[in-house]
Amino acid sequence: MGGDVLEVQGISKSYPAAGGPLAVLDGVTFTLPAGGRLSVMGPSGSGKSTLLAILGGLEEPTAGGVRLDGVDPFAGGPRARAMFRNRRIGFVFQEHHLLPGCTALDNVVLPALATGNVPAATVARAERLLDRVGLADRRHHLPEALSGGERQRVAVARALVLAPRLVLADEPTGQLDVRTAAGVADLLVELSAEAGSLLVVVTHDQPLADRVGNVRRLVDGRLAP
């Protein structure tokens, strides 16, 4: 497997169960070129979130491999994997996971805290991202003062603040109304493209999948054409 892309080769995942190993993923293989996007659709329990967790280095596969820019996130120990996630991966989840005691701006710069002091350039980028998501005038508000859609827009800005190589989104519009969901989907696609990030979204929402494009379905643990 080479570099400058996301390469997924033969990813399988099974869990121990009373009746024998329970297979969730079975030989998932795909490649995304630089700037590529992928939507993975499937019902609840189809393995979508498990696939995303493996791509993000949160969970090891039972078999197969992942490389991002030629780097295997599972080659090192837990510390190396944590650094890989922080520097190369941006996450957006169905739940925004904002820290309730931190302002919108503080939540956006949060990923930079893992590396120590937050550079002024990162704060400036966070402010620009909040402006892009329409929240420049609410950057000092706490999450409780923001609507659900606004909180999710903060989460999108947070995922992109370090200009990650790969953005992973797990049902990012699942708790939003149709109009708000469309706006968040547009921002996710536009901002990840501007950052030059790869984008993988897992969802059961057809409009979101269509907006991202390159729609594939997980069927019986396999990624259908």
Instruction: Specify if 68 maps to a domain.
Output: no
pLDDT at 4: 56
pLDDT for position 98: 93
Question: Could you tell me the CA-to-CA distances from 133 to 77, 149, 150, 179, 198 in Å, in that order?
Answer: 36, 10, 8, 15, 19
**For the chain, how many structural domains are there in total?**
1
Does residue 66 sit within a domain?
Answer: no
Kindly report, residue by residue over 96-143, the tens digit of the pLDDT. Answer: 889 999 999 999 999 888 777 788 999 999 999 999 999 999 999 999
Domain CATH code at residue 47:
3.40.50.300
Look at residue 5 and tell me if it is in a domain: no
Residue 149 predicted with pLDDT over 70: yes
Write the pLDDT tens digit of every residue in 60-103. 999 999 999 999 999 888 888 888 998 899 999 888 889 999 99
Give CA 63 to chain center in angstroms. Answer: 22
Is residue 201, in this structure, part of any structural domain at all?
yes
Q: How far apart (Å, rounded) are the C-alpha atoms in residues 163 and 161?
A: 6
Residue 3 lies in a domain: no
Give a yes or no: residue 1 inside a domain: no
Query: What is the tens place of the pLDDT at every residue in 7-16?
Result: 999 999 999 8
In a domain, residue 16? The reply is no
- Please state the rounded mean pLDDT for residues 199-211: 93
Residue 163, phi-psi category: left (phi > 0), alpha (psi -120 to 50), beta (remainder): left
What is the tens place of the pLDDT at every residue in 207-219?
999 999 999 999 8
Query: pTM for the complete prediction?
Result: 0.92
| Domain of 168, in residue numbers | 32-60+73-217
> What pLDDT band is residue 1 in, cutting at 50, 70 and 90?
very low
* Domain annotation covers residue 225: no
Query: Hey, what are 184's tokens?
Result: 């968040």
Model confidence at 174: pLDDT above 50: yes
